[in-house]
Amino acid sequence: MKSIKQLKDIYIDFDIVKDKWNTDYEGFVLLSKDKQAYKRCRLAKKTPKKDGYFTAFWQKNNKGKNIPFSEDDLGEELIIIVEDKHNQGMFVIPKLDAIKRNIISTDDSKGKMAMRFYPPWCTNLNKTAQSTQKWQLNYFKYF
C-alpha cells in the first residue's frame, strides 16, 4: 500500500504490523516501539455503485463469529486510509469519539463492523451521506 510510507513518516515511533483481520481492506496495526500503544488501520475502497469509500473493521470471537472491535481492543485510534488517484488522506478517529459515534462496541452500543467514509472530494451526496460526511470531515487529513 502506497500510504504505508506516509504513515511511517507521520507515526515514526510506531511499527506497522499486519492485522490478521480484514485482509481485503489491508488491515494493519500501528504498534508503538515500546509496545504500550496501538492504532488500528484499514483501507477504504471506492465502490462502483455508491458514493464514498467502504471498509470493514471487525474481529472474530472465540467461536469464529465476526464481531465489532470493543473499547478494550480498538487501540487509541481508528485510522481509515483513502487513496484515489491524486486524492489521498486519512480519517483519524480517536477511541473516545469512536465510542461516541457507536463505531466500536460498548456496554451501551453494539458497534459497527463496516461503514462508508466520505472524504472532502465526495460531492453531490444524498442527505444521509452529507450528514455522515459532516462529522467525518472533522477527522480527515490529506497526505
Average pLDDT along the chain, 143 residues, taken 10 residues at a time: 79 91 90 91 94 96 95 94 93 98 96 98 97 99 93
The answer to whether the CB of 14 falls within 8 A of the CB of 39 is yes
Please tell me the pTM assigned to this model: 0.93
Among 107, 105, 26, residue whose Cα is nearest residue 73? 105
> For 3-142, CATH number?
3.40.1350.140
* Beta carbons within 8 Å of 49's beta carbon, 6+ residues apart: none
If one counts every other C-beta atom within 10 angstroms of the C-beta of residue 6, the result is: 18
